Amino acid sequence: MANSPAQEMLPLSLLNDFLFCPRRAGLKIIEGWRAENEHTVRGDIVHEHADLPGYEVAKNVTLLRALPIFSDRLCLSGKCDVIERHPDGSLLPVEYKKGKRRQFENDDAQLCAQALCLEEMFNIAIPCGAVFHAESKRRREVIFTPELRSLTEQAINELHHLSDARQAPLAQFKPACEECSLFKICLPRVTSLPASLRRATALLFAA
């Protein structure tokens, strides 16, 4: 994916939102909505230490916290929770997540996007990273396979198209919607209805 001169830099964290729910990403980037719930607060607590810029050395590995990253090619910018710099010069991004150790495609793609930025910035290959799951205090290795890299770049491209469209997509209601911090703003039970039912619902509440 090559960026166009008019394409704006997007926050890397939006990629996670987009793969979880394109409408959530649209409500954030296009309409500017933000909201908190139990899950976002717990996530903020998990990130408290990692979000403090600085570094420390443990067992000959330098831990770089809250390092700003970017990619001109992908038009993304953000920061890594932690980057491990090993004695051989290799870099390994580590993303902190609340909850127990389990695999989510959106988490893996977010981590892969961080690696793509670092590869461009430092002109090195980064074959893998890790997700640290706070609740279980367990770490999960993520290999940046060709398939994951392709999925990540495709999602980034679609995210840019969403941003350029300047219209949040319609909701697709699913059980996970009720856990979303934007649930009361999105109203997925209503916005996922066919257009005729949405109009009837709007008229009902307007009466």
Q: What is the pTM of this model?
A: 0.78
Per-residue pLDDT of the chain (207 residues; tens, 9 = 90+): 555 556 789 999 999 999 988 888 888 888 777 655 444 444 444 445 556 788 999 999 999 999 999 999 999 999 999 999 999 999 999 999 876 666 779 999 999 999 999 999 999 999 999 999 887 888 999 999 999 999 999 999 999 999 998 888 887 888 778 788 887 878 777 666 555 444 544 444 454
CB burial of 99-118 (b: ≥16 within 10 Å; e: otherwise) equals eeeeeeeebbbbbbbbbbbb
Domains annotated on the chain, with CATH = 10-168 (3.90.320.10), 170-207 (no CATH)
